[in-house]
Amino acid sequence: MPPRADGADGLPFSIAMALLLRIAKSQQLRRGFSALPTTQQRVVLAERAAANPLASQFVVEHNAPLPELREGTVLVRNRFVSVEPAMKGWISTVQNYASVPTGDTMFAFGVGEVVASALDGVAVGALVAGRTGWQEYGAAPRRATSRTRKRDVRRHRGPGGALVPRR
Predicted TM-score (pTM) of the model is 0.70
Report which secondary-structure segment, H or E, holds 161.
none
- Give a yes or no: residue 122 inside a domain: yes
In a 10 Å sphere around its CB, with 0-12 CB exposed, 13-18 middle and 19+ buried, how is residue 57 labelled?
Answer: buried
92 located within any domain: yes
Q: Which domain holds residue 85?
A: 13-165
Tens-digit pLDDT string for the chain (167 aa): 444 444 444 555 666 666 666 665 555 444 444 578 889 999 999 999 998 889 999 999 999 999 988 998 899 999 888 888 889 999 999 988 889 999 999 999 888 899 999 888 888 988 888 889 999 999 988 766 666 666 566 554 444 444 444 33
Confidence at residue 97, expressed as pLDDT on a 0 to 100 scale: 86
CATH (domain of 23): 3.90.180.10
Tell me the helix, strand and coil percentages in the chain, rounded to 5. Answer: 20, 35, 45
In a domain, 79, yes or no: yes
Residue 6 lies in a domain: no
Q: Examine residue 7 and state whether it is found in any structural domain, yes or no.
A: no
Number of domains in the chain: 1
Per-residue confidence (pLDDT) for residue 16, from 0 to 100: 61
Which pLDDT score is estimated for 163?
47
